[in-house]
Amino acid sequence: MSLKTIIFSILLLSSIIIFIINIRRIISYLTIARKEKRWDGVGKKLIKTFKIAFFQSKIFRDKIAGPLHAIIFWGFLVFLFSASEAVIQGYDQNFSWSILGPIYTAITFSTDIFSILLILSIIIAFLRRFVFKVKRLQSDKHEKIDASIVLIMIFIIVSSLLLENSAGLLIYEKNQWCYKPISEALSHLINFNNPHFYYELFWWLHIGFILLFANYLPFSKHFHVYTSIPNVFFSDEKKAKTLEIINFEDENVEKFGIVDIQDFTWKTLFDGYTCTHCGRCTSVCPANYTGKELDPRQLIISIRKRTNDFAPIILRQIKDKNYELSDKEKSILEKKFIGEYESIDALWQCTTCGACMQECPVMIEHVPAIVGMRRSLVMMESNFPSLLQSAFTNMENNFAPWAFSQLERADWAKDRNVRLASDCTSFEYLFWVGCAGSYDERAKKISIAFSELLNIAGINYAILGTEEYCNGDLARRTGNEYLADMLIKMNIETLKKYKVTKILTICPHCYNTLKNDYPSYGVEFEVIHHTEFLNNLIKQGKLKITDKMTKKLNTVYHDSCYLGRYNNIYNEPRQILQSIPKINLFEIKRNKDKGFCCGAGGGQMFMEESKGKRVNLERTAELIKISPDLVALNCPFCMTMISDGLKAMDSEFVQVKDIAEILLESVVT
C-alpha cells in the first residue's frame, strides 16, 4: 500500500466517522420532540419528492434564483459520479466509470458542462448576495461568512475537478467513452509543464474539499443539501393546511399547544435543520412586507437555534438521571422559546395566509407552528391581544364573533324563499351561510344574491338558521382550540341530525374548515364553494347569462387565501367572470398562487395592526393600480377589508362586489 493510499484512507475514514457522529447528534436532537406519523401515502410522497426536489418545481417560482439553484442541485447530482470516481482512484489511480460505456460518455460530458454552469452560477450567487445585495438574502455577519465559505468551497471543488481532468487528459490515453470537451480545451490553453504533479495536486484539492465540505454542512445553513429531499418527502400539504386536534378528555395532557421546543413534532425540528435561509417565505409574508415584526424565516432559524441549545442538555439528563446542570445550562433551560427566541407580538401578526409555505422550496410548515404557539399563549397563559377577548366571549355566548343574538342568525332570509332545514322533509344541499353572511350588513347581500341564484336554478337546498354556529375557524386560528372544539362538535351533531352530505358556502374560511378540519373529527362532507357551484350551474345551462349589464366594466379579481392557496380554486371564479359579456377581466401581478392576503385571516379582522402599513391598504392599492371599475371577490372577509381599504384611500367610486352579486345582475331571472 502506497503512502498516498495510507494518507487518503486515514482522511476518508476520519471524515466518515466525524460525519456519522454529527448526523447521529442531530438525529438524536429530533427525539426530544413529539412523535408524528409521516409515512402514510408513500407512493404519492415519492411522486411529490421527484417533482419538487429532483425537478425543482418550486424553485422555479423565482425566475432568477430558480435556474441558478437548479443548476447547482443538478450539478451536484451529476458530480456524484465524479466524486465516487475520485474516491475509488485513491486506491486505484487507473479506475474510471468507463465500464458503463456510452452512459460514461453522457456522464463525462454532463460533468464538463455543469462544471462551467456551476462556476457561473456561483459567481452570480455571490454577486446577488454581496454586490447587488438582494434584500431577502441579507442577513447577519455569521450567515454572510457561512455563505461565503460554502460558495468558495463549491467553487474549489468544481474548478479543481476541471483542472484535474485537464491535466489527466495529458497523462492517460483517452478512453473511447470519455468526452470532456471543456477539459480538453483547457488542457491546450493551460501550460501544464508537469501534468503528473498538477494532476495529483488537483486530485488532492478536489477530494480534500469534498470531505471538508461534507463535514462542514452539519454546522451550516447549507445542511439542507442533506435534509431537503427527506423533508420534502415527509411534508404533508394536507396537514399544513389544517391543524391537529387536541383530545381535551385525555387526563394525561398537562399542557396545551407549543410551549417550548419539545412540544413541536420531530418534523418541525427537522424543518429547522432544512431551512435554506433563502428568505422566500419572508419576502411574501404580508405582515413582514408591510413593516411588521413577523419573519417566517427567522422563526424557523430560531427553532433550530433553540434545538441546538436545548436538546443536548435534555439528552444528557435523560442519559444520566443524576446529571448536575452547570449555571450556563440552567440559564438555557430557564429561557422561554416564546418571548426570548421568538417574539410574542410577531406570532399575533400572522394572517395564516400560507404564502410562506407556498413559496418554501423545501416544504417547511410555518403556519401550524405559529398556531401551535398561539394555542399555548391562549389556553395556558391567557396571553392574547385584548381585542380578541370580545370575539371569544361572543363565540362562547352567541356562537358568532359579533355581539348579535343567535336568534337573529336567519333574519336575512325572511320572506326570501329560503327554507330552514327544520322545516324540510328533505333537501340535497345545505347552504352554510356563515357568521359574516348571517350578521354583517354587507355580507348579507352576498347571502341574498347566492340564494336567489340557487332559486333561479331550481336547487333543492336549505339553511340551518339558528341551529348553525360559528364553524370554529376563528377560534382555531387564534389558538383557542378549546372553544373551537366545542363549536365544531355542536355543529357536527346538527349536521348528523339532518344527514347532511353536501354543503354550499360563500365563505372560504367556512369552506376550508368544513372540508379540511372537520374530517379530523370523523365526518366528511362534499363541501362546495359558491363560485365552484355557480360555475357548474352555468355550464349545465341552469343559469343563463344575458347581456343586460348597462356598460362594460374593467374588472380585477382578488384571490382569497383560503380558497386559492389553501384549496387550489383559481379557475372557477375567473370562468364565471369571463362568461359575463360586459366584464373585461384583468390580472394583477400578485395573483393566483402568488396572491397577496387581504389582511383578515388568522383573526386579524378582529385585531388592530399597531405596526407598519395595514395589509388591506397594501392589497387595495395594488388592486386599484390599473384603475378598475370593479373589484370582484369571493369572500365576505375580503369584502370587509377591501371595502375599508377603498374608503381609507378615498376610492369608493370603485365598485366592490362578490361574484354571486355580479352574476345575479347578468342572469335570466
Determine phi and psi for 429, rounding to 5 degrees: -120, 140
Average pLDDT over residues 192-216: 94
Which of 307, 284, 308 shows the shortest CA–CA distance to 294?
284
Which cell numbers hold the place of 554? Answer: 374593467
Distances, alpha carbon 218 to alpha carbons 95, 130, 228, 304, in Å:
31, 24, 13, 12
Which cell numbers hold the place of 578? Answer: 369571463
pLDDT score for 598: 98
Alpha-helical runs (H) found in 524-589:
530-539, 571-579
pLDDT score for 176: 80
Reduced to 3 states (helix: H, G, I; strand: E, B; else coil), residue 533 is helix
pLDDT score for 460: 98
Which of 392, 382, 350 shows the shortest CA–CA distance to 484?
392
**Is residue 188 scored above 90 in pLDDT?**
no
**Is residue 239 scored above 90 in pLDDT?**
no
Residue bearing cell 436538546: 311
Average pLDDT over residues 560-577: 98
The string of pLDDT tens digits covering residues 593-631 is 999 999 999 999 999 998 999 999 999 999 999 999 999
Q: CA neighbours within 13 Å on the CB side: how many for 138?
A: 6
Determine phi and psi for 383, rounding to 5 degrees: -110, 95
Q: Which neighbouring-strand residues pair with 658? A: 633
pLDDT score for 191: 85
Model confidence band, residue 157 (pLDDT cutoffs 50, 70, 90)? very high
317-325, long-range: CB within 8 Å, 24+ apart, which pairs?
Answer: none
Average pLDDT over residues 196-201: 94
Which of 41, 59, 607, 564 shows the shortest CA–CA distance to 353?
564
The side-by-side arrangement of strands in the sheet containing 461-462 is: 461-462, 429-432, 502-505, 526-529
pLDDT score for 172: 79
pLDDT score for 16: 97
pLDDT score for 177: 87
Which of 493, 463, 473, 527 shows the shortest CA–CA distance to 637?
473
Average pLDDT over residues 349-363: 97
Burial class (CB within 10 angstroms; exposed 0-12, middle 13-18, buried 19+) of 47:
exposed
pLDDT score for 93: 85
pLDDT score for 29: 98
pLDDT score for 341: 97
The string of pLDDT tens digits covering residues 100-153 is 999 999 999 999 999 999 999 999 999 999 998 888 888 888 889 999 999 999
Average pLDDT over residues 28-39: 95
The residues, any chain, with a CB within 8 Å of residue 613's CB and separated by 6 or more, are: 290, 291
**Is residue 173 scored above 80 in pLDDT?**
no
Strand 461-462 and strand 502-505: the pairing is unpaired
Reduced to 3 states (helix: H, G, I; strand: E, B; else coil), residue 647 is helix
pLDDT score for 548: 84
Q: CA 426, CA 527: separation in Å to the nearest integer? A: 18
Percent of the chain whose predicted confidence (pLDDT) is above 70: 100
The residues, any chain, with a CB within 8 Å of residue 255's CB and separated by 6 or more, are: 263, 376, 380
Which of 361, 294, 304 shows the shortest CA–CA distance to 69?
361
Which cell numbers hold the place of 591? Answer: 395573483
Average pLDDT, rounded, for the chain: 95
Greatest CA separation found in the chain?
97
Lowest mean pLDDT among 168-177, 224-233, 609-618, 629-638: 168-177
Residue 90 · residue 5 · CB < 8 Å: yes
Which cell numbers hold the place of 53? Answer: 426536489
**Is residue 222 scored above 90 in pLDDT?**
yes
pLDDT score for 141: 86
Residue 561 · residue 601 · CB < 8 Å: yes
**Is residue 96 scored above 90 in pLDDT?**
no
Determine phi and psi for 121, rounding to 5 degrees: -65, -40
Which cell numbers hold the place of 275? Answer: 431551512
- pTM of the shown model: 0.94
